[in-house]
Amino acid sequence: MSQTAVRVKVCGLTSVPDALAAVEAGASFIGLVFFPKSPRNVSVEQAAEIATSLPVGVAKVALLVNPTDAQLEDILAKVPVDIIQLHGSESVERVAEIKARYGLPVMKAVGVARAGDLEAIETYARVSDMILVDAKPAPDAALPGGNGHAFDWSLVAGRRWPVPWMLAGGLTPETAKRAVSVSGAHILDVSSGVESSPGRKDAGKIAALVAAVA
């Protein structure tokens, strides 16, 4: 891909073949979900198998929701994680504490539905290494992300923050190019939009999405 190509994170991988297919398609980041309510949840053992199968240079991201120290320590002791992604209601202080305690880059997910939600990005960008700008889930949603819903991408058009950011929410091979054009994102985070069923990725859809933004 060219130097101006948009990078892609494929999140919610549950098997080695799916992870390798994502890498083959050109994914730069692989996301592993540690959240029991998600259909993409993996055990520590599954995650370790997937992570150790990946080639050097692919960033392995552990997605957690309001994790305890015990949970983090169990995962990090067994899985070669490169980035911790916090996708819950973690406070600014908790994000900073996790970053300091474990010495790994931390990415904080921020849900956006309207312009007023952007203020939280400014706040978390002060303590995070990356920001994930995702569609804000409905109040009664079971999952904090991965719901296949998009937000108004023009809300983040032209925005600049002090750390890199990813765009997530409702991205598919058909919408990815427009999402980049409208939002100005340089990194996309995809999950349900490249699946054949919840938790099972479709290699053709991943390849099509990566090609669409290359």
Query: Which amino acids are annotated catalytic?
Result: 11, 134
> Which residue bears the tokens 């750390």?
163
Distance set, CA 15 to CA 7, 20, 22, 49 (Å): 21, 9, 11, 8
